[in-house]
Amino acid sequence: MLKITIENFNHQEIVSQVDNRKVIELIHENYIDWMHACGKKGRCTSCKMVVTKGFENLSPLTDSEEYFRGNGRLKVDERLSCQAKLMYGELSIKVPEEQKLPHLDYSE
């Protein structure tokens, strides 16, 4: 069982019985809006997430993530939700300030 908690979105929880899934797929399947500009192809950083717990439960960095980390657009505690797969267990994340959507209410 997979579990994602979005801390600054009122601790919204997502639970899935299917493992090895991209984080953004799990988020969108649960009808939660999450920014993504390049069609989930890893060509931008609009879908990034801040990982606060469970980093070890994610798949290794992809080439796209390595590229963005190398040029300073992806911090060490951030991953692209369209590239990172939750392999097993739990994950706690936050929406970065610059990725927050204006029509949603976020908590802190």
The contacts of residue 27 (CB under 8 Å, 6+ apart) are 4, 6, 14, 34, 81
* Predicted TM-score (pTM) of this structure: 0.93
Average the pLDDT over 32-53 and give the result.
93
Angle at 49 between CA 29 and CA 33, to 5 degrees: 35
Which among 107, 96, 98, 2 has a CA at the least distance from the CA of 52? 96
How far apart are alpha carbons 104 and 91 in whole angstroms? 21
| DSSP H or E segment with residue 26 | helix 23-29
Higher-pLDDT residue of 66, 39: 66
Compute CA distances 25 → 2, 67, 98, whole Å.
13, 22, 21
